[in-house]
Structure 1
Amino acid sequence: MTLDAFIMGFSFILIHLLANEVIPSDRIKRLKWFSFSGGLAVSYVFVYVLPTLHKEQIIVKEYRDYFTMESELYFIGLIGVLIFYGIQKVVRKAQLNDKTHKARTLFWLQIIFFGIYNMLVAYTIISHDVLGIQAVFYGLAVGLHFVAVAHDLWREYADIYNHVGRYVLATGILAGWLLGVTIDLSPLIESIIFAFISGAMILNVLKYELPPDDEAHYLTFTIGVVSYTAVTMSLKFFFQW
């Protein structure tokens, strides 16, 4: 296990255990925080996730017996969108209708799926051997994404999240971290996992991290987008990421 992988995995675990401790309690500061982190997340989707998905699609061309088109991975990403959107819609519909045992049970379903989501995201990052300054910038974007996911779940049922939920999500990170440093899957399977998670991540970023109009601090959001994009593109240019 490299030091970079250890630091990223440990940081992601701490994020889920302590996420709500670091979010500012003041409303204005909190809105600026989520506007900035949302800007970073949107930038991450466009400057890393989508280009990498395109590269992965090129890789699977080697498996012509299974893939004959040029968009199979995008279809798998779409499946990720459908599954996570369907789960979240079912949970939120139950919460709007009542706050009974059924709604809380469905919230557990959401926690479990986000635990799996965390495991696959952590596995993808660790298994791709992201190192050095690249690990810092990609780890920062994913870390803030995890903070936003954790806060969103905490707002729904704080008691469940604080007592058990955050540990389930942290365990998902730990599982993905361990899988990433101990198991070598074929390039095809890794590409499929990345595509599925990319779809889920794009949904989560655009639907739940992009601040609503009445809660957005546009200047801070713009600073997040421009600064992260400028630095990442510069590093890509100079270091050929």
Structure 2
Amino acid sequence: MEIGLSLIYAIAFTLIHLFSKSMAFIKDTPRSRFLSIAGGIAVSYVFMHLLPDLNKHQDILEKFGDSGVFRLLENHVYLIALLGLTIFYGLEKMVKNSRNEMNQDKSNPGVFWIHISSFFLYNALIGYLLIREEFNGPWGMFFYFLALAVHFITNDHSLRKNHKVVYDRYGRWLLAIAILFGWAVGLFVELEEIYISLLTALLAGGVILNVLKEELPEERKSSFLAFFLGIVCYSALLMLA
């Protein structure tokens, strides 16, 4: 039952990447209210689920803390989340600097492939956790899907803006494949809890950065009301589930 449901959600994730460009109602300036609502949902998911979940992963790190390199990490699961945020911030700066150096509205091909490779791993991790994360039943998996589905729409919008035609030609296909690849790996490979904890922490940091970089810039004229509505509605759903 859960495997079949996770496959349905994995396929839905891939369809979002393939067809999000057809969402004509999404615009950047002034920012589409849908994107602001999506940002609010993703932020709510991070603070209501991912970050509290890191406490559980902290306990796992402490359990492995007496062995090898994990001794250095036993009290620092949030440091791993910070590392995830830093990595994606560095990638965004690299893309922006590339566009400025070329005096174009897109980055150079080398930067594109580095950027897409990072998001391929990002998506593969999300696909893996879709089948290996311990959800609180079908509703827990649904809320995971909902938060990351709208997050993917926002990411696609940003990547398409940064890389233009090359993203639609190659990027969206690679990110769609990444979800199914991560899901397939999760179907046959079960990583130890310690590695799941580290990967989840990295994901949390990446989600935080990718959401806030889209909502905070003043020139995008984001709708605070829509952002707040996304936070309130999704938080209420999580609390009632």
Matches of residues 181-200 of structure 1 in structure 2 within 5 Å?
Answer: 181-200=187-206
Task: Give the aligned residue type for 2:119.
Answer: F
Matches of residues 86-97 of structure 1 in structure 2 within 5 Å?
Answer: 86-97=90-101
Alignment coverage as a number of residue pairs: 235
Q: Which residues of structure 2 form unaligned runs of 5+?
A: none
110, 119, 123: which one aligns with 2:124: 119
Is the 8 Å Cα contact of residues 30 and 220 (structure 2) preserved in structure 1?
no
Matches of residues 95-134 of structure 1 in structure 2 within 5 Å?
Answer: 95-99=99-103, 103-130=108-135, 131-134=137-140
Per the alignment, residue 42 of structure 2 pairs with: 41
Percent of matched pairs sharing the same residue? 34
- The TM-score, its normalising length taken from structure 2, stands at 0.88
3-state SS of 1:2 partner: helix
**C-alpha separation between the residues in 2 aligned to 1:125 and 1:42?**
19
- TM superposition shift of 1:206: 1.6
- The TM-score, its normalising length taken from structure 1, stands at 0.88
**C-alpha separation between the residues in 2 aligned to 1:230 and 1:127?**
25
Is the 8 Å Cα contact of residues 31 and 222 (structure 2) preserved in structure 1?
no
The reply to whether residue 64 of structure 1 matches residue 97 of structure 2 is no
Point out the more displaced range, 139-148 or 16-25. 16-25
- TM superposition shift of 1:210: 5.1
Per the alignment, residue 81 of structure 1 pairs with: 85
3-state SS of 2:65 partner: coil
Residues 68, 169 of structure 1: alpha-carbon distance in 2 compared, 3 angstrom cutoff: closer
Is the 8 Å Cα contact of residues 148 and 209 (structure 1) preserved in structure 2?
no
223, 226, 229: which one aligns with 1:220: 226
**C-alpha separation between the residues in 1 aligned to 2:78 and 2:226?**
31
Calculate the aligned-residue CA RMSD, in Å: 2.3
3-state SS of 1:193 partner: helix
Per the alignment, residue 5 of structure 2 pairs with: 4
Q: Deviations over 1:16-73 (max 9, x none)?
A: 1111213515779961111111110111111011101121101222113133775321
